[in-house]
Structure 1
């Protein structure tokens, strides 16, 4: 995590906690996440389970955030998160293809 976000050190620390808690795996598609490749398809992002536009100004706890790849995060946009938990890590060790 060499990039520092404009959101500050507190967000950077929270983001890292969430990514580590979720095992650096996208909670939507199961892909392994990369730390510092903003153009990568599976760049690591942290997303809000409930969209920010519905909760402007709210401070989010770690339990309200999930690890997500850039592609899934962009696809989700401002809709609530629907978790996909049917994939099996033993069958798809590198995650589901996006």
Structure 2
């Protein structure tokens, strides 16, 4: 009969990367820095529902794709109005919701 020896590995195995909300959303302070706007301006827009974002407990976050999209258009030289761009990201009140 064969003897089997058990060997314990000391290697650490990293968990598979998940898509946490930190990748979908970004901190308001980071967005303000990237956009060259004040945190207060962005917080105000988030509170009023004028900017795409979410509230997690007491923390408000802004949608990363919104910030990156605005920056990409601006980098291509497109003349943008920030409020109009934000409005285009928000659902229209007269839009029907698919159920």
Query: Please, what TM-score do these two structures have when normalized by structure 2?
Result: 0.24
Which structure's CA Rg is the greater one? 2
Query: Please, what TM-score do these two structures have when normalized by structure 1?
Result: 0.24
Higher relative contact order (CA 8 A, sep 6+): 1
More helix by share: 2
